[in-house]
Amino acid sequence: MPLPKSIQAEAAELRQALNEHNHRYYVLDAPAITDQAYDRLFRRLQQLEQEYAELASADSPTQRIGSEPASHFESVAHEVAMLSLDNAFDEEEMLAFDRRLRDKLDHAAPLAYCAEPKLDGLAVSLLYEAGELKRAATRGDGRSGENITANVRTVASIALRLLGSDLPERIEVRGEVYMELAGFEALNRKQQETGGKVFANPRNAAAGSLRLLDSRITASRPLSFCSYGIGLIEGAVLPPGQYLQMQYLRAIGLPISRQIELLDSIDDCLDYYRRILDQRDKLAFDIDGVVFKLDDSRLQRQAGFVSRAPRWAIAYKFPAQEVMTRLLDVDFQVGRTGALTPVARLEPVAVGGVMVSNATLHNMDEIERKDIRIGDIVIVRRAGDVIPEVVAPVLQQRDGDLPRPQMPLRCPVCDSEVLQQPGQSAFRCIGGLVCAAQRKEAIKHFASRKAMDIEGLGDKLVEQMVEQNLIESVADLYHLPLEQVAGLDRMADKSARNLLDSLRQSKQTTLARFIFALGIREVGESTAESLAAYFGELDALMDADVESLQRVEDVGPVVAENIRHFFDQENNRAIVEKLIDAGINWPLIEASQQAQTLEGKTYVISGTLEGYSRDQAASLLKARGARVSGSVSAKTTAVITGENPGSKVAKAETLGVEILGQSEFEALIGEDS
HEC readout, 389-417: EEEEECHHHCCCCCCCCCCCCECCCCCCE
Residue at a domain's end among 317, 337, 359: 317
User: Across the chain, how many H-helices and E-strands are there?
Assistant: 24, 22
If pLDDT is split at 50, 70 and 90, which confidence band does 224 have? very high
Strands (DSSP E) along 166-309, which ranges? 170-179, 223-234, 261-263, 287-294
pLDDT for residue 253 is more than 90: yes
- Of 189, 194, 170, 182, the C-alpha closest to 224 is 182
Question: Does residue 241 form part of some domain?
Answer: yes
Same domain for 200 and 239, yes or no, is yes
Same domain for 98 and 155, yes or no, is yes
Cα–Cα distance measured from residue 137 to residue 124, given in angstroms and rounded to the nearest whole number? 6
Catalytic entry in 118, 293, 444, 648 = 118
Question: Does residue 302 form part of some domain?
Answer: yes
If pLDDT is split at 50, 70 and 90, which confidence band does 31 have? confident
118 is catalytic: yes
Find all residues with CB under 8 Å of 296, minimum gap 6, and list them: 111, 112, 240, 241
Rounded to the nearest 5°, which phi and psi values hold at 168?
-65, 155
Question: Does residue 240 form part of some domain?
Answer: yes
pLDDT for residue 72 is more than 90: no
If pLDDT is split at 50, 70 and 90, which confidence band does 183 have? very high
CB of 393 within 8 A of CB of 376? yes
pLDDT in the model for residue 70: 58
Same domain for 615 and 541, yes or no, is no
User: How large is the average pLDDT for residues 563-583?
Assistant: 92
Cα–Cα distance measured from residue 21 to residue 27, given in angstroms and rounded to the nearest whole number? 10
> How crowded is residue 141: how many other Cβ atoms within 10 Å of its Cβ?
10
| pLDDT tens for each residue of 596-654 | 788 888 999 998 888 777 777 887 787 777 888 888 998 999 999 998 888 888 899 98
pLDDT in the model for residue 94: 96
Same domain for 561 and 435, yes or no, is yes
- Of 265, 241, 242, the C-alpha closest to 174 is 242
The per-residue pLDDT of the chain, averaged, comes to 88
Same domain for 102 and 188, yes or no, is yes
If pLDDT is split at 50, 70 and 90, which confidence band does 672 have? very low
Chain centroid, CA 384 distance in Å: 16
Same domain for 235 and 95, yes or no, is yes
CATH assignment at residue 381? 2.40.50.140
CB of 330 within 8 A of CB of 344? yes
Pick the more confident residue, 25 or 337: 337
Question: Does residue 503 form part of some domain?
Answer: yes
Calculate the alpha carbon distances from 77 to 132, 137, 212, 250, 587 in Å: 19, 9, 20, 26, 87
Same domain for 92 and 191, yes or no, is yes
Question: Does residue 422 form part of some domain?
Answer: yes
Of 67-71, 279-283, 369-373, which range is least confident? 67-71
| pLDDT tens for each residue of 237-248 | 999 999 999 999
Percent of the chain clearing pLDDT 70 (strictly above):
95
> How crowded is residue 189: how many other Cβ atoms within 10 Å of its Cβ?
11
Based on the structure, what is the number of domains in the chain? 5
Same domain for 340 and 365, yes or no, is yes
Of 220-229, 302-311, 498-507, which range is least confident? 302-311
| pLDDT tens for each residue of 325-372 | 999 999 999 987 889 999 999 999 988 767 899 998 988 988 998 899
Cα–Cα distance measured from residue 145 to residue 401, given in angstroms and rounded to the nearest whole number? 39
| pLDDT tens for each residue of 205-216 | 898 899 888 888
Output the pTM of the full model.
0.54
pLDDT in the model for residue 529: 87
CATH assignment at residue 47? 1.10.287.610
Residue 11 domain boundaries = 5-55
| pLDDT tens for each residue of 388-406 | 889 889 988 998 899 999 9
Same domain for 564 and 511, yes or no, is yes
If pLDDT is split at 50, 70 and 90, which confidence band does 671 have? very low
Question: Does residue 269 form part of some domain?
Answer: yes
pLDDT in the model for residue 26: 62
User: How large is the average pLDDT for residues 79-91?
Assistant: 89
Cα–Cα distance measured from residue 183 to residue 199, given in angstroms and rounded to the nearest whole number? 12
pLDDT for residue 66 is more than 60: no
CATH assignment at residue 171? 3.30.470.30
CATH assignment at residue 624? 3.40.50.10190
pLDDT in the model for residue 383: 63
CB of 365 within 8 A of CB of 427? no
Question: Does residue 546 form part of some domain?
Answer: yes
pLDDT in the model for residue 21: 81
Same domain for 47 and 159, yes or no, is no
- Of 654, 665, 657, 536, the C-alpha closest to 598 is 665
If pLDDT is split at 50, 70 and 90, which confidence band does 591 have? low
If pLDDT is split at 50, 70 and 90, which confidence band does 27 have? low
Cα–Cα distance measured from residue 189 to residue 205, given in angstroms and rounded to the nearest whole number? 13
Of 54-58, 82-86, 341-345, 394-398, which range is least confident? 54-58
CB of 340 within 8 A of CB of 318? no
Same domain for 244 and 154, yes or no, is yes
CATH assignment at residue 571? 1.10.150.20
Residue at a domain's end among 573, 593, 613: 593
Same domain for 33 and 126, yes or no, is no
Question: Does residue 405 form part of some domain?
Answer: no
pLDDT in the model for residue 1: 58
User: How large is the average pLDDT for residues 85-111?
Assistant: 93
pLDDT in the model for residue 673: 39
Residue at a domain's end among 371, 397, 423: 397
pLDDT for residue 98 is more than 70: yes
pLDDT in the model for residue 610: 85
